């Protein structure tokens, strides 16, 4: 592995690995037990346990670094959620002995911090629908300094990447550091690392489009039209979460699109949904922008307020993809 083992890199690897392994335990033992968010998207006990764990590890490693994360503990603090909170606390206590409900809620709420010149951002489970199906999901953690992603880490319990020295079924642990490449190893036995490199494909007909099962945040019919206009003939690769970015970085797909859903024309991406994966793609030789080709702007708070949608590619296909998006008026 060539990424310099700074304290930040070591922390990111350890935190993401432990959180992903804990989530996998919750999945095995609780299946699809879930809460409901205000926006009605599913969230599980594992979301809260993952965020509490990473937040506490961050507090121990870098006590002055803020955390900007997806969840807060308001729901868990309600009287009717006492049993749920006890379950979350019990899972966290497997790795942090002595974790109590009050402390667990406080750790979760560390994620309510505002972005700062230096901060971390976390999606404790990216791809909750994939989690509940037993399919792809990821823990995504990134360090940002002065609005630029410096470290991105992904823990993908169900992902096996080609060329990565890992036993089948062991999952993938991915790390990227700015200027030092993107690397992957086994989630369960992180020893030997393989460098990730995007596909050299430049022929639109051979493009493998990485598409989500979840359609709530995209325009499915417009994605279909995009593929037709670009001339794509290959079957798409379907999976949820930022695991798609790891797959793109490993050269097993060429394009990722997040078009705006007609039901949510003003939607803006959350920073924790893009920060870690964006650096993984870039450090593997790929390119990521919004639908107009603008670089992702992580200086506007908890959302990418200055960007519309997402286009990620192997770099070679970025110009023709942007041209088709212009034709579509996306």
In CATH, what number is assigned to the domain containing residue 39? 3.30.540.10
Please indicate, yes or no, if residue 2 is contained in any of the structural domains.
Answer: no
Residue 1 is predicted with a pLDDT of 62
Report the C-alpha gap between 129 and 125 in whole angstroms: 10
Is 135 buried (19+), middle (13-18) or exposed (0-12) by CB count in 10 A?
middle
DSSP code per residue over 84-139:
HHHHHHHHHHTTSTT--HHHHHHHHHTTBPPP-SEEEEEEEEE-HHHHHHTS--EE
47, 128 Cβ separation under 8 angstroms: yes
Confidence of residue 221 (pLDDT cuts 50, 70, 90): confident
Same domain, 130 and 242: no
pLDDT tens for 233-275 read 988 988 989 999 999 999 999 999 999 888 888 999 999 999 9
- The share of the chain scoring above pLDDT 70, in percent, equals 92
Please indicate, yes or no, if residue 320 is contained in any of the structural domains.
Answer: yes
264, 274 Cβ separation under 8 angstroms: no
Same domain, 144 and 232: no
Q: Residue 264: which domain range?
A: 204-328
According to DSSP, the residues that pair with 311 across neighbouring strands are: 257, 289
Please indicate, yes or no, if residue 255 is contained in any of the structural domains.
Answer: yes
> For residue 33, is pLDDT > 60?
no
- The share of the chain scoring above pLDDT 90, in percent, equals 75
Query: Looking at 195, 215, 246, which one is the last position of a domain?
Result: 195
Residue 216 is predicted with a pLDDT of 59
Which residue numbers are catalytic? 47, 128
Task: Identify the residue with better confidence: 170 or 314.
Answer: 314
What is the DSSP code (8-state) at residue 255?
Answer: E
Please indicate, yes or no, if residue 146 is contained in any of the structural domains.
Answer: yes
Look at residues 250, 92, 276 and name the one whose alpha carbon lies nearest to residue 159: 250
Task: Identify the residue with better confidence: 44 or 204.
Answer: 204
Report the C-alpha gap between 101 and 205 in whole angstroms: 54
User: Of the given ranges (26-30, 217-221, 223-227, 321-325), which has the lowest mean pLDDT?
Assistant: 217-221
Same domain, 79 and 228: no
CATH number at residue 317: 3.40.190.80
Report the C-alpha gap between 40 and 101 in whole angstroms: 25
Would you give the end-to-end CA distance of the chain in angstroms?
Answer: 40
Please indicate, yes or no, if residue 1 is contained in any of the structural domains.
Answer: no
Query: Looking at 137, 172, 195, which one is the last position of a domain?
Result: 195
Same domain, 49 and 177: yes
Same domain, 186 and 230: no
Mean pLDDT for 274-303 is: 98
Please indicate, yes or no, if residue 117 is contained in any of the structural domains.
Answer: yes
DSSP code per residue over 138-178:
EEEEEEEETTEEEEEEEEETT---TT----TTS-EEEEEET
Query: Looking at 155, 175, 195, which one is the last position of a domain?
Result: 195
Coil, helix or strand for 2?
Answer: coil
Q: Identify the residue whose tokens are 């690392």.
A: 193
Please indicate, yes or no, if residue 124 is contained in any of the structural domains.
Answer: yes
Q: Identify the residue whose tokens are 């080609």.
A: 162
Residue 40 is predicted with a pLDDT of 34
Same domain, 86 and 220: no
Q: How many Cα atoms within 13 Å fall on the side-chain side of residue 43?
A: 22
Coil, helix or strand for 210?
Answer: strand
Same domain, 155 and 264: no
Please indicate, yes or no, if residue 222 is contained in any of the structural domains.
Answer: yes
Same domain, 177 and 254: no
Residue 261 is predicted with a pLDDT of 80
pLDDT tens for 91-148 read 999 999 989 999 999 999 999 999 999 999 999 999 988 888 888 999 999 999 999 9
Same domain, 264 and 127: no
222, 177 Cβ separation under 8 angstroms: no
How wide is the angle at C-alpha 150 spanned by C-alphas 19 and 256, nearest 5°? 75
Confidence of residue 293 (pLDDT cuts 50, 70, 90): very high
> For residue 168, is pLDDT > 70?
no
Same domain, 183 and 292: no
64 Cβ partners below 8 Å, 6+ apart?
none
> For residue 31, is pLDDT > 70?
no
Instruction: Report CA-CA distances (Å) from 203 to 227, 250, 318.
Output: 13, 18, 12
Same domain, 220 and 99: no
How many domains does the chain fold into? 2
Same domain, 30 and 177: yes
């Amino acid at each position: 592995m060539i990424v310099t083992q700074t304290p930040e890199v070591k922390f990111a690897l350890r935190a993401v690995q432990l959180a992903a392994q804990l989530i996998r335990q919750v999945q095995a033992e609780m299946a699809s037990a879930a809460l409901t968010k205000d926006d009605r998207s599913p969230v599980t006990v594992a979301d809260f346990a993952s965020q509490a764990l990473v937040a506490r590890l961050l507090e121990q490693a870098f006590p002055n670094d803020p955390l900007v994360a997806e969840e807060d503990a308001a729901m868990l603090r309600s009287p009717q959620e006492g049993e749920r909170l006890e379950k979350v606390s019990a899972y966290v206590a497997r790795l942090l002995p002595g974790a109590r409900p009050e402390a667990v809620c406080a750790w979760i709420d560390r994620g309510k911090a505002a972005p700062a010149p230096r901060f971390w951002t976390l999606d404790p489970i990216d791809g909750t629908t994939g989690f509940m199906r037993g399919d792809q999901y990821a823990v995504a953690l990134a360090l940002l300094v002065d609005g630029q992603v410096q470290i991105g880490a992904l823990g993908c319990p169900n992902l096996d990447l080609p060329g990565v020295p890992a036993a089948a079924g062991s999952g993938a642990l991915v790390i990227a550091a700015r200027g030092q490449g993107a690397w992957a190893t086994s989630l369960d036995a992180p020893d030997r690392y393989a460098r990730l490199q995007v596909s050299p494909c430049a022929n639109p007909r051979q493009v493998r489009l990485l598409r989500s099962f979840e359609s709530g945040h995209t325009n499915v019919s417009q994605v279909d039209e995009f593929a037709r206009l670009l001339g794509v003939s290959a079957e798409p690769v379907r999976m949820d979460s930022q695991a798609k970015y790891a797959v793109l970085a490993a050269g097993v797909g060429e394009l990722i699109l997040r078009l705006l859903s007609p039901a949510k024309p003003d939607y803006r991406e959350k920073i924790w949904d893009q920060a870690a994966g964006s650096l993984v793609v870039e450090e593997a030789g790929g390119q990521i922008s919004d639908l107009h080709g603008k670089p992702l702007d992580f200086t506007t708070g908890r959302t990418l307020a200055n960007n519309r949608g997402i286009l990620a590619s192997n770099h070679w296909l970025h110009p023709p993809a942007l041209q088709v998006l212009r034709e579509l008026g996306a």
